[in-house]
Amino acid sequence: MGKLKADELMLKYFPRCPLCQADGSYEVSGMLKDYVQCRSCGAKFESPDFIGGKELKKLTLWEPCADGKGTELKRKKFDVKFWQDPKNIEAETIPDKSKLLFSEETNEEEIKQKIWEDMNNLAMHESGTAWMQVGTFLTGSATDQMTASGFKALIDQNKIIIRQNELILRTLQKILTALPPEKEN
Ligand SMILES: [Zn+2]
């Protein structure tokens, strides 16, 4: 079996681009000719197997698609089998909704509840700070503690603001849909 060029080898294993699923058309680059780039979406892949030109085993996503698809997989190396199944890629690129501050499925009561929880955390943090100010005189590490808890407070405040913005946005959308349609002159 002869040695295939990187684009030929890629095409053999990926008749369609792993990320955008367009008909495979790849451009070879790199000093060692070990990078291929999809001409449709711009996703760039790297593999030392391209140099061998016989068998493609592992593939690293070097650059995601121009539209950002695959960002979560950037610089990650997987077996060819992983990249060949779009379901694997989807599972890795769809964010875990439980980690989001809210999603389209979160209802307003849940958002309000979370705001309340963060405000509570913040109130506890405020009362904690006074105690830590005393601690500063006793140990040096209290400073680090205060810095860390200060960051935590900022994060909690941001969470509150982001969720409140979502509530405002939803209210505005409701008002807009309730308004009578604008009359044409
Ligand atoms: Zn592509």
Which pLDDT belongs to residue 123?
A: 78
Residues 89 and 106 in one domain: no
Q: Using CA atoms, how far apart are residues 135 and 185, in angstroms rounded to an integer?
A: 70
Does 112 fall in a domain?
A: yes
Last residue of a domain, one of 46, 70, 94: 94
CA of 96 to the centre of ligand 1 (A): 24
End-to-end CA gap in the chain: 74
Per residue in 60-101, pLDDT tens?
999 999 988 898 899 999 999 999 999 999 888 776 666 778
CA of 62 to the centre of ligand 1 (A): 13
Residues 32 and 80 in one domain: yes
Residues 79 and 117 in one domain: no
For ligand 1, a single-atom ion, the residues with CB < 5 A are 17, 19-20, 38, 40-41, 43
CA of 16 to the centre of ligand 1 (A): 8
Write down the pTM of the prediction.
0.56
Split into its structural domains, the chain has a count of 2
Q: Whole-number mean pLDDT of the chain?
A: 86
Pairwise pLDDT comparison (39 vs 72), residue with the higher score: 39
DSSP per-residue string spanning the chain: -PPPPHHHHHHHH-SB-TTT-PBP-EEEESTTS-EEEETTT--EEE-THHHHTS---EEEEEE--TTSTTGGGTT-EEEHHHHH-HHHHHHHHS--GGGSS--TT--HHHHHHHHHHHHHHHHHHHHHHHHHHHHHHH-THHHHHHHHHHHHHHHHHHHHHHHHHHHHHHHHHHHHHHSPPPPP-
Residues 62 and 85 in one domain: yes
C-beta separation of 60 from 72 below 8 A = no
Does 66 fall in a domain?
A: yes
C-beta separation of 43 from 52 below 8 A = no
Residues 25 and 65 in one domain: yes
CA of 75 to the centre of ligand 1 (A): 16
Does 147 fall in a domain?
A: yes
Is the model's pLDDT at 52 over the cut of 90? yes
Residues 18 and 70 in one domain: yes
CA of 82 to the centre of ligand 1 (A): 16
Last residue of a domain, one of 94, 127, 148: 94
CA of 43 to the centre of ligand 1 (A): 6
Query: What is the bridge-based pairing of β-strands 35-38 and 58-63?
Result: unpaired
CA of 37 to the centre of ligand 1 (A): 8
Range of the domain at 61: 6-94
